[in-house]
Structure 1
Amino acid sequence: MGRTWRPRRSPDSSTVVFQSYRESSFGLWTIRADGTGLRRLTSGPFDHREPVFSPDGEKIAYSSDAPGSYGIHVLDVASGRATLVTDTPDEEYEPARSPDGIKLAFVAAGTRIDVVTVAGGARSTFATEPGTALHSPMWTPDGGDLVYARYSGGVPPVAVGVAELVRGGKRCSPAKTSSRSASRGRAPTSTSSSAPQRYRSRCNGVVPPAGTYHRQGGPPDFLFCISSRTAR
């Protein structure tokens, strides 16, 4: 069924959602934890990617370029009906659902982390850093803060620059050079999960998901996380 990655478990661990690249686009699929019940959730010529379950397991947020540019959608698992949550000319992707399920954080235009209320559509900017490449927002367990990755010294589609682990504006580890392909239409060539695990305790218990970062061969990427202020 093509190349697959970004698996995410449902809250009750009974189901896994993932993205698969086939027929020149990304699609979303689910499968039961025991390996049965494979189900295709999306189809068509557009990309559907980066899925994440809601806390009740009834909905899946994801990014898609179906509107013409990448936007954040929410799909009802039972009915298969999808709703567009963000609708701007900006590329918007990598959604992360808050622990209470009320909000979604996501990357906007590559240089911002925005937050939107799923039900009402109220939107705010949590962080903006022109000249950098921001990725993979994740909520802290209490839902009051966000952790995200930043590359300095490079911008998409290929970010090459300095990466360091940061929390509260203070560097926690030596800087190292890192690279990442950020093309929205291409599949990554290799991934690493060891670096995120290494620094879990320094990022308030939350790290960007494994498989987001990669380099073309060589050692794992050196991550840096930023926990800046309360998400409102």
Structure 2
Amino acid sequence: GWWGLAWSCISLGRNAEAVEAFRQVIRLAPLTDNGIEAAKAIERLRARLPELDLPEPEPETFMLVLSLTRGGNTDLWLADAEGNLQRRLTTHLGVDHQPAFSPDARQIVFVSDRSGARNLWALKADATGLRQLTEESTPNYSPSYAPDGRSVVFVSERSGNPELCLLDLLTGAVTDLGETSSKDLAPAWSPAGEALAFVSDRSGAEKLHIWNPATRQSRQLLTSTIPERHPIWSPDGKYLYFSWNLEGHWQICRAQSTGEGLGAVAPSPDDDRLWGLSPDEQWLLISSTRGGLSRLYLRSATGTQTKLVAQGSGEIDSAAVSPALPRSVAQILFTSKPPPRAAPGPQP
């Protein structure tokens, strides 16, 4: 998309002609509903890339956002791809947790009880722009951005039962995605937005289901009675990674979105909970009971390498992995100083 092209062309300042061509993309893309003119502008720029003598795209990386409890306070932190803490995002006395990145990595949605109830909040990845998204007295949790970044799917207990809802970020309108008597949890959009994975007990055990927004119908992913949790889509949308409980032992598995090809991923003797997947699908972000303590790790998909995340920094509540982004952009987010906040607005 246009934002991905923007990140890849971050060094355009060395070529005035390229800058002007790129500005055309920036002017058109965010303002065009159907994207036709934006797509044409992008294609024109791509066709001219060889003659513009642009620098090679820089290597990409990813970030982690963690909900970390230190000194009795649960706040959000940014960490790098090695698991090292880089920046504190929130400092409120309320509990800030269950973060999720927007598709362009510029925004983070999370759950906080700072208003008295568990509601959805969002802020920019540079710790500015804090805003409240829902204002309800009943719990709202487990947010996940849609691929176009225009809405957030989440779990609401407004009817007394956990159900899936969709929040339009422009209008603030909330839509129920299907009222049922079952418990529906942990929603996650596929990368292309053609399917929504979630966990439901509608068949008895907590199982992964896939909902089709076009037909508004859902299907169970696997036919077994083994409980499953925490679905994460692969970047190409072909696979679902998740935790399942085989004989009382939580392990990470992967299956095709059709339900075929089930297999274990990076098996271990510990109880593992999946939080995210790196953009290149080479690293799993998991919490594990290794050594009798629950800690957060980056584990290679082959299971041969493990990195302890935020070692000795506090207790991990929840976490998420960002989309791919240039290393220079990640460095800016880690080191930039946000402008002073104007009182009496909401404080991160």
Scaled by the length of structure 1, the TM-score of the pair is: 0.71
Residue 150 (structure 1) aligns with: 244
1:208-219 aligned within 5 A: 213=287, 218-219=293-294
Contact 2:208 2:221 in 1 (8 A): yes
How large is the Cα RMSD of the aligned pairs? 3.3
Contact 2:243 2:272 in 1 (8 A): no
Alignment partners' CA distance in 2, 1:171 and 1:34: 36
Residue 315 (structure 2) aligns with: none
Contact 1:6 1:50 in 2 (8 A): yes
Contact 1:5 1:19 in 2 (8 A): yes
Range with greater deviation from structure 2 (26-35 or 162-171): 162-171
Contact 1:140 1:146 in 2 (8 A): yes
Range with greater deviation from structure 2 (114-123 or 52-61): 114-123
Choose which of 196, 203, 220 in structure 1 pairs with 2:295.
220
Alignment partners' CA distance in 2, 1:174 and 1:205: 16
1:11 Cα deviation from its structure 2 partner: 1.7
1:119 Cα deviation from its structure 2 partner: 4.3
Distance 1:221 1:119, change over 3 A: same
Range with greater deviation from structure 2 (61-70 or 113-122): 113-122
Say whether residues 1:163 and 2:257 are aligned partners.
Answer: no
Alignment partners' CA distance in 2, 1:6 and 1:175: 25
1:77 Cα deviation from its structure 2 partner: 0.3
Q: Secondary structure at the match of 1:13?
A: coil
Letter in 2 for 1:151: N
Choose which of 271, 289, 300 in structure 2 pairs with 1:178.
271
Alignment partners' CA distance in 2, 1:53 and 1:35: 18
Say whether residues 1:86 and 2:178 are aligned partners.
Answer: yes
Q: Which has a greater percent of strand?
A: 1
Choose which of 228, 233, 243 in structure 2 pairs with 1:134.
228
1:218 Cα deviation from its structure 2 partner: 1.3
Alignment partners' CA distance in 2, 1:54 and 1:90: 23
Distance 1:63 1:128, change over 3 A: farther
Residue 86 (structure 2) aligns with: none
Residue 66 (structure 1) aligns with: 158
Aligned residues: 197
Residue 109 (structure 2) aligns with: 17
Letter in 1 for 2:195: K
Whichever of the two has the greater Rg, that structure is: 2
Provide, for residues 71-114 of structure 1, a one-character-per-residue CA deviation record: whole Å limited to 9, x for no partner. Answer: 11111001110111131111001001011112210000152111
Alignment partners' CA distance in 1, 2:214 and 2:167: 13
Choose which of 121, 131, 154 in structure 1 pairs with 2:216.
121
Range with greater deviation from structure 2 (164-173 or 105-114): 164-173
1:41 Cα deviation from its structure 2 partner: 0.8
Q: Point out which structure has higher relative CO (alpha carbons under 8 A, 6+ apart).
A: 2
Q: Secondary structure at the match of 1:7?
A: strand
Alignment partners' CA distance in 2, 1:65 and 1:3: 19
Alignment partners' CA distance in 1, 2:239 and 2:232: 9
Q: Secondary structure at the match of 1:37?
A: coil
Contact 1:138 1:207 in 2 (8 A): no
1:206 Cα deviation from its structure 2 partner: 7.9
Range with greater deviation from structure 2 (15-24 or 72-81): 15-24
1:148 Cα deviation from its structure 2 partner: 1.2
Contact 2:99 2:110 in 1 (8 A): yes
Contact 1:72 1:93 in 2 (8 A): yes
Say whether residues 1:205 and 2:292 are aligned partners.
Answer: no
Alignment partners' CA distance in 1, 2:114 and 2:239: 36
